[in-house]
C-alpha cells in the first residue's frame, strides 16, 4: 500500500492545501496530512484545532487521515512506514526552500522521496499568513478557505478584538 505524507503547519488549512490533498488522495492508497510544529511561527490555531479542522474538511476523502507530529519530519515518515512526502509548490520562490528541505530529508533518510505538486494557479498567491491577515482586518476570505475555516477565523479574531 502506497502511503504519502503531506506535511505542513496548516495554520489554518487553505483552499490551496485542500486542492493538493484532493489531488494526492487520487494518486495514493493513503494520504496522511501531518500537522507539524513550525518552530519559527507562533500559531493562531492550536495543534488540536488544526487537526480537527482538517479532519472536518476532508470527511469526503476516506483515504485521508490527519495527525499532528513532533520532532523531525523524516523520523515521523519512517515511523508511519511511508516513504513519500508531498509538497505543494506555489511559485518559483518556493523552490529554494523546498529544494533544501527535500535534500536535507534525503540525507536523513535516503528512502524518502519528496514529490512536488504544482499548486492550482487559482491559489498560487495563497498562504495561511495572508489569509490570517485578511481575516484579522475583517476582510472576506470566502474564496480562500473552506467555510468552516472562515467561521473559525471570524471567531478567533472577534475573540481577540473583544478581549
Give, as one character, the DSSP assignment of residue 85: E
Cell matching residue 110 = 535516503
Are the CB atoms for 89 and 118 separated by under 8 Å? yes
150 vs 146: CA distance, rounded Å: 6
Interactions with ligand COA, residue window 70-89 (CB under 6 A): 72-73, 88
Catalytic residue at 40? no
Chain centre to alpha carbon of residue 120? 15
Catalytic residue at 79? no
CB 103, min distance to ligand COA, A: 9
Q: Kindly indicate which of the ranges 8-16, 25-33, 44-52, 55-63 contains the residues binding ligand COA, using the contact rule CB under 6 A.
A: 8-16
Q: By CB under 6 A, is residue 114 in contact with ligand COA? A: no
CB 105, min distance to ligand COA, A: 5
Given 46, 129, 155, 158, the residue binding ligand COA (CB under 6 A): 129
86 vs 32: CA distance, rounded Å: 10
Nearest-Å Rg of the Cα atoms of the chain is: 16
Among residues 25, 50, 87, 128, the one annotated as catalytic is 128
CB 63, min distance to ligand COA, A: 19
Q: 87: which strand partners?
A: 116
**Preceding amide of 148 cis, omega within 30:** no
Catalytic residue at 75? no
CB 147, min distance to ligand COA, A: 17
The sheet with strand 113-118 has its strands ordered as 64-69, 30-36, 3-8, 84-89, 113-118
Q: Which residues bind ligand COA (CB under 6 A)?
A: 7-9, 11, 14, 16-17, 20, 36, 38, 72-73, 88, 90, 101, 104-105, 119, 123, 126-129
Amino acid at each position: 500500500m502506497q502511503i504519502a505524507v503531506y506535511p505542513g503547519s496548516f495554520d489554518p488549512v487553505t483552499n490551496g492545501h485542500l486542492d493538493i490533498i484532493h489531488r494526492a488522495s487520487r494518486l495514493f492508497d493513503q494520504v496522511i496530512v501531518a500537522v507539524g510544529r513550525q518552530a519559527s511561527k507562533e500559531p493562531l490555531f492550536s495543534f488540536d484545532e488544526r487537526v480537527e479542522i482538517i479532519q472536518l474538511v476532508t470527511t469526503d476523502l476516506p483515504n485521508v487521515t490527519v495527525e499532528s507530529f513532533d520532532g523531525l519530519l523524516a523520523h515521523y515518515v519512517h515511523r508511519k512506514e511511508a516513504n513519500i512526502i508531498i509538497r505543494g509548490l506555489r511559485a518559483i520562490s518556493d523552490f529554494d526552500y523546498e529544494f533544501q528541505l527535500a535534500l536535507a530529508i534525503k540525507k536523513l533518510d535516503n528512502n524518502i522521496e519528496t514529490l512536488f505538486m504544482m499548486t492550482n494557479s487559482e491559489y498560487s498567491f495563497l498562504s495561511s499568513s495572508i489569509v490570517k491577515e485578511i481575516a484579522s482586518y475583517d476582510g472576506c476570505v470566502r474564496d480562500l478557505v473552506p467555510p468552516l475555516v472562515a467561521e473559525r477565523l471570524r471567531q478567533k479574531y472577534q475573540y481577540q478584538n473583544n478581549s
